[in-house]
Structure 1
Amino acid sequence: MGLEHVADLLVCPTCGQRLTIEERTLGCRTGHRFDQARQGHVNLLGRAAPANADSAEMVAARARFLGGGHYQPIVDALNGRIRAPRRIVEAGAGTGHYLAGVLDAHPDAVGLATDVSPFAARRAAKAHPRMGSVVADTWAGLPVRSGVADVVLCVFAPRNPAEFSRICVPGGLLLVVTPNEGHLAQAREQLGLLGIQDDKLSRLNRSMVGAFEAVWSQRIHWTLQLDAAALADLVQMGPNAFHEHSRVEDGLEVDADVQLSVFRRPAG
């Protein structure tokens, strides 16, 4: 199982001791034990998932949409900025699609996917043989040892710069993907979807001050030809699933417009 590749990166969410894996169970010296689910993931959240965590339906929609290759330019851009990583952590990994794409391009690397949704962690556990998956909350603190990740990924997910810096090796990279103002503009206008703040990139850069140094920024823009089924999955796979919007009846040509921001943890 993929979890065996990354178990040594994990710490007990109860006492902070290092975890080891034995017969599908993670355990620490203090005696806390966390059983691996039959789907392959381990729940290290320690409480019920929040109400806004991705549901099973949202995760299924995301798996269908990403499986269609619609966001492949993001995977390509991530791989274009990563060189010979050993250990990669993706926070808010969802289905593990992006991390799996990076692992495919780097055969010597292992990856850990974290997400607050048990349904997402379940799906990510099967996304790649060198990927382990745990349920964890980025805001509450990740159950990951300090200074172990060569690369941290955060794609359309909540960000905790201090926590990302803690788990990253000195000189390691943080790659963040955020939507630009024009991302999915046609779908947002036609269906009444949630808007995007126009200062998103500047707020991201300000949030990293003191934790990371900005080293690269790249706009990625392409056009999606979506049929009705793919468009419905696009709407249902994210926060719009929790909000009122118009019904999807037809396909649509949609602009994808995102920003890849690369940061480095200072070596000193």
Structure 2
Amino acid sequence: MSEAVLLTIDGPIATVTFNRPEAYNSLNGAMIEDLNRILPKVEHDPTIKVMILNSNGPAFMAGGDIKMFAQSVTMPQEEKRSTFEQTVYKIHPIVTAMRRMPKPIVAQVHGAVAGFGMSLLMACDLAVASEESYYTLAYILIGTSPDGGSTYGLPRIVGMKKAMEIALLGDRFDAATAERLGFVNRVVPAAELAQATMKLAQRLAAGPGLAYAGTKRLLQQSLNSTLETQLQAEAESFARCAAGDDFREGVTAFVEKRPPHFTGK
């Protein structure tokens, strides 16, 4: 079994770690297989309340594995087109699983966040970044268009004109810019990155899981819904949450002027 991506579980927190530090965690076939194997486990394990996505080595993810790409450049054109189309299809379940997952996903990013690394960052719900991290969509620099849901997430985060700039020029930007544009939520010194991410994950793990799932689902669908559809979905989700234990505990704790103790039910 590959160890290109590692899974560790500590109580209610699962940590998924890219583990190709020598290659700056550039995406290859082994990583794709590992992510497709690991993410469903995290999604369907009822004891896991939150997921952290991080990496070993000097970079979060430096995009696709260029060495892997280089092996294909001499293929006949039609074979090359088919090969890459099938490869890209294999990453679709990774992105959809992250978008669909009812549990909050927190990215912990440092170093290079490029190419598919940007796609994964945008698929996470929250992100804590090291102040030395840097970002580039990068696809245009190797003569291709983006994949991994980049073109879905990018205009929704930064707006169409800025999305065009980031995608068409491929320029690098720093952590402060990433925070200003909305790619990351917090920027911290490198030495504090792991601690800051874990603190956020622990806060989420102690929160109302059913309400998190409903909130994620509502926000994900909102940009493709009419107002009437969204209002109906909100009503159904609120009622579902109100029927659960966490709602009773939240209301009781508020009345009793004490912190709530949620169970995620």
Query: Could you say which TM-score interval applies, normalised by the shorter chain?
Result: under 0.3
Larger radius of gyration: 2
Q: Which has the higher strand share?
A: 1
- TM-score relative to the length of structure 2: 0.26
- TM-score relative to the length of structure 1: 0.25
Q: Which has the higher helix share?
A: 2
User: Which structure carries more relative contact order (alpha carbon 8 Å, separation 6+)?
Assistant: 1
